[in-house]
């Protein structure tokens, strides 16, 4: 177990690992996003007045995936088998499962259950990393805010439909 100061930022492997995290998180997220685009089913749903336009989701998720990847990279470099890394992987898997359940499976309530798990995992990651690696913890704050909003949106759409 290392401290953030112990990460050797001059080592080539450190930057290769960052690139791997960025490519993996953004590519898988992008692939899932392109395979589960909102279609006629989603357009036909009754939505709350605070539902954002569809075009906003791509830029928001791309930005969030960069932040998530950097936090994952930092956590990996500090302790790849620790609880924080396990939480990071768990939230990533849950994150990637949500879109297919919502858009392809058209299952509003199971998607809500998944997003509640994502929210809990994000909070746990922030709490676990805040003292040891406050940067990783802070990188998850915008993600927490967006997923909290998305949870409210998911719940609202489920109730309205």
Query: 153: domain CATH number?
Result: 1.20.1260.100
Give the whole-angstrom CA distance, residue 108 versus residue 104: 11
Can you read off the two tokens belonging to residue 88? 């990071």
**pLDDT value, residue 143:** 98
- The 8-class DSSP code of residue 106 comes to -
The span from the CA of 74 to the CA of 70, in Å, is: 6
Residue 82: the pLDDT is 95
At 6 the pLDDT is 65
Entry pTM: 0.91
The count of domains in the chain is 1
Q: Residue 40, Cβ neighbours under 10 Å: how many? A: 6
Alpha helices in the chain (DSSP H): 12-35, 40-43, 57-79, 83-99, 108-129, 134-139, 141-160
pLDDT number for residue 13: 79
Give the domain range for residue 93: 4-160
10-residue mean pLDDT profile of the chain (161 residues): values are: 64 86 92 79 94 91 96 95 97 94 95 98 98 96 98 98 95
Q: Can you give the pLDDT at residue 60?
A: 94
């Amino acid at each position: 177990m290392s401290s953030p100061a112990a990460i050797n930022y001059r080592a080539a492997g450190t930057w290769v690992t960052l690139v791997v995290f960025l490519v993996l998180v953004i590519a898988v997220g992008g692939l899932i996003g392109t395979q589960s685009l909102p279609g006629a089913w989603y357009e036909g749903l009754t939505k709350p007045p605070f539902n954002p336009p569809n075009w906003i989701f791509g830029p928001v998720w791309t930005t969030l995936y960069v932040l998530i990847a950097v936090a994952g990279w930092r956590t990996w470099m500090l302790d790849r088998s620790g609880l924080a890394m396990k939480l990071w992987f768990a939230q990533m898997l849950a994150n990637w499962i949500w879109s297919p359940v919502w858009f392809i499976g058209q299952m509003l309530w199971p998607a809500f259950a998944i997003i509640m798990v994502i929210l809990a995992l994000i909070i746990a990651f922030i709490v676990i990393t805040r003292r040891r690696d406050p940067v990783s913890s802070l990188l998850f704050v915008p993600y927490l805010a967006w997923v909290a909003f998305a949870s409210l949106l998911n719940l609202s759409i489920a109730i309205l439909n």
